[in-house]
Amino acid sequence: MPTVSVVTGANSGIGRAIAIHLAAHGHEVYGTVRDPNRAEKLRSMSADAGVEVQLVTLDVADDDSVRRGMGEILDRAGQVDVLVNNAGVGGNAVVEEATPAGIVDVVNVNVGGGVRCLQAVLPGMRARHRGAIVNITSVAGRFGAIAQAPYVASKWAFEGVSEELAFELAPFGIRVAIVEPGVTRSAIFAKNIDAPNQTGAYGDHYRRLFEFYAAGVAHATDPFEVAAVVYEAITTSTPRLRYPCSWGGPEIISGRRMLTDEDWVAMGAIGDDEEYRAEFLRRFGVDITPPA
């Protein structure tokens, strides 16, 4: 029997790449999408790759939708061997200007969505004493990325939930992997353009956020590289918990681990943009100078 894999948020970017890559490696893949009518590119790319990704309508933010969608997959496939929790949304705002409701909305998708889906497949995995859960977080789950409070809150939370999950599932033989991409080629950046700046005090912060995006997009990693990391995470004989990847991911995560908290806070106090970029490059080995 082929490995049955479910990839949430399979309609674009990283999710689409993962779904196609796993199908190309012989998996029976179910890709969840909110609207199958908007999945033309997924269908086209799957056909070009000579593979099939079976579409299932599912909104990870809604309990009933997840219940119906995951139930349909279990009815059709009989079991789920691999779940890739990829569906997610962005969210920009400095902490002072982030609304509690806005943070909750992002967390509901980026954390609650993953929890809803894994709760649907874990009983079967536990009974079979095997399976894999791959949670796609972000480099923003490992450092306090500027002016992205809702997104950072959600990704830090998903990191913590994933670490706990790995510990809890160890006795059942279920593998948990956290994949932490930096910047990949994805439509999320075109959608993630909010810069509230309601107080007028944080113009520098939002400018630096978008300069980081611009530098990242100019060097963005192909999402199929993330897909290859996911495949490695579920097949390797020497599994790890965390897999940083993509532009800036490994460097920023490693650099932040080497920084003291005091050094990190001191970076935030740098007022001059050129000095800030130079310090970021020195500390993290990543050039965040925006393209000319």
pTM confidence score: 0.95
What's the pLDDT at 44?
97
What's the pLDDT at 9?
97
What's the pLDDT at 187?
65
| Residues pairing with 85 in the sheet | 135
Residues 72 and 55: beta-carbon distance below 8 Å: no
Instruction: Please report how many Cα atoms fall inside a 13 Å half-sphere around the Cα of residue 225, on the Cβ side.
Output: 16
Q: How far is CA 177 from the centre of its chain?
A: 12
- Residue the block writes with tokens 């932490």: 180
What's the pLDDT at 198?
78
Residues acting as catalytic residues: 151
What's the pLDDT at 147?
96
Record the tokens describing residue 118, joined without a space: 């894994």
Rounded Cα distance between 78 and 141, Å, is 34
Record the tokens describing residue 283, joined without a space: 């500390």
Q: How far is CA 223 from the centre of its chain?
A: 11
| Residues pairing with 132 in the sheet | 82, 175
Q: HEC string of the chain?
A: CCCEEEECCCCCHHHHHHHHHHHHCCCEEEEEECCHHHCHHHHHHHHHHCCCEEEEECCCCCHHHHHHHHHHHHHHHCCCCEEEECCCCCCCECHHHCCHHHHHHHHHHHHHHHHHHHHHHHHHHHHHCCEEEEEECCHHHCCCCCCEHHHHHHHHHHHHHHHHHHHHHHHHCEEEEEEEECEECCCHHHHCCCCCCCCCCCHHHHHHHHHHHHHHHHCCECHHHHHHHHHHHHHCCCCCCEEEECECHHHHHHHHHHCCHHHHHHHHCCCCHHHHHHHHHHHHCCCCCCCC
Residues 182 and 218: beta-carbon distance below 8 Å: no
Record the tokens describing residue 198, joined without a space: 């309601």
How much is the mean pLDDT over the chain?
Answer: 95
pLDDT tens by residue, 109-118: 999 999 999 9
Record the tokens describing residue 107, joined without a space: 């967390």
Which domains are seen in the chain, by residue range? 4-198+221-254 (3.40.50.720)
What's the pLDDT at 195?
72
What's the pLDDT at 196?
78
What's the pLDDT at 80?
98
Q: Enumerate residue ranges in the chain where pLDDT < 70.
A: 187-194
